[in-house]
Amino acid sequence: MKLLLALMLAASAKHDWLGAEMPLPLAVRTPQDLQFKNEAERQYLIFNLLTSGKVAWDERDYATAAAKWESLLSVPGLDPEIDKVVRPFAEEARKKAGGKAGEVAPPPAAREERPSPRRQAETVSVEGTVSGGGQAGPGGAVITLKRTDGPMAKIVPSKKIVLQRGKAFVPRVLAVSTGSSVVFRNEDPINHNVFSLSPHFDTGLYGAGGEKEEVFDKPGVVQLLCNIHSSMIGYVVVVDTPYFTQADATGAFSLRVPPGEYEVEAWHENASQPTRQKLMVPKDGAKLALTVAGDRQPPAFPPDKYGKPRQQQLGY
């Protein structure tokens, strides 16, 4: 908060320091880099709304000042100190602009007292373990829960990263919700050509440091292959529920869902069929034990991007 105010007060009269262009030109090479970039862009947005509102206020452009500060006060998880400093200005700006005071978002406490009808129901923990999976073990299994006795929360798409590193997909299995995008980033000093036959997509050839992005808007299992390295196999599992997770290397998993009745499904790359069962989740949470088969093996002759089988390539 102090840093933001210091930047605002130290800014030049020309306002060259203001800018709203996104995304920020920050390098993203790992999932941690992406988290860092997202937080940097959030703070950048807060700073620009805060200071551009003050610039408009000083220039007596009260309508713009009110709009900037009202957007700022609506940012989820905003620092209470920023809210405390900005709110009086926002309310006065809206008044001077001829608007209604009620157009300013209520303080966080008031928002809790008057929950939105769209607010997600309280959630409880579902913890469990997955066993099986053949020689690969249970790690990476995708566990989904679909509610059968009422509506589910809205599915929120995300942006994830799959690396090509050491002539392998990292992670080998990635679960995403429908509408999500996946960035395929090449961290090898050689070329890759990622593709899938169903649903069909083809990134084309790209070299070290290159990346391609694909959007997955239909639920299902997407097998990832490389047209150059036939030993590379991975999976993107696209799910049509907001309640999903993946088991760690030991098979353990946890997620949070509202209490209710659910259809549980566990998918594993080495199982020819997913495991399914019913689950009642009470108000104090639930424990779950799942077993997946290990009766499925990777294809002996992975196809190329034209669907023709290939021999495994050795030493390349």
6 by DSSP, 3-state: which? helix
- Domain positions in the chain are 2-113, 124-292
What is the per-residue pLDDT for 18?
Answer: 59
Integer Rg of the chain from CA: 25
Class of domain 124-292: mainly beta
Per-residue pLDDT tens digits for 265-281: 999 999 999 999 999 99
Per-residue pLDDT tens digits for 12-45: 345 555 555 556 677 766 656 666 766 777 788 8
Cβ-proximal residues to 37 (8 Å cutoff; 6+ apart), any chain: 23, 24, 26, 28
User: Which residue did the predictor score with more confidence, 288 or 85?
Assistant: 288
Instruction: With cut-offs at 50, 70 and 90, classify the pLDDT of residue 172.
Output: very high
Asked whether residue 8 carries a pLDDT value surpassing 60, the answer given is no
Query: Which of 227, 240, 261 has the alpha carbon at shortest distance from 212?
Result: 227
User: What DSSP letter does each residue of 242-289 carry, written as one string?
Assistant: SEEEE--TTSEEEEEE-SEEEEEEEE-TT-SS-EEEEEEE-TT-EEEE
d(CA 80, CA 115): 18
d(CA 142, CA 246): 5
Q: What is the mean pLDDT of the chain?
A: 84
Q: pTM for the full model?
A: 0.62
User: What DSSP letter does each residue of 40-89 carry, written as one string?
Assistant: HHHHHHHHHHHHHHHHHHHTT-HHHHHHHHHHHHTSTT--HHHHHHHHHH
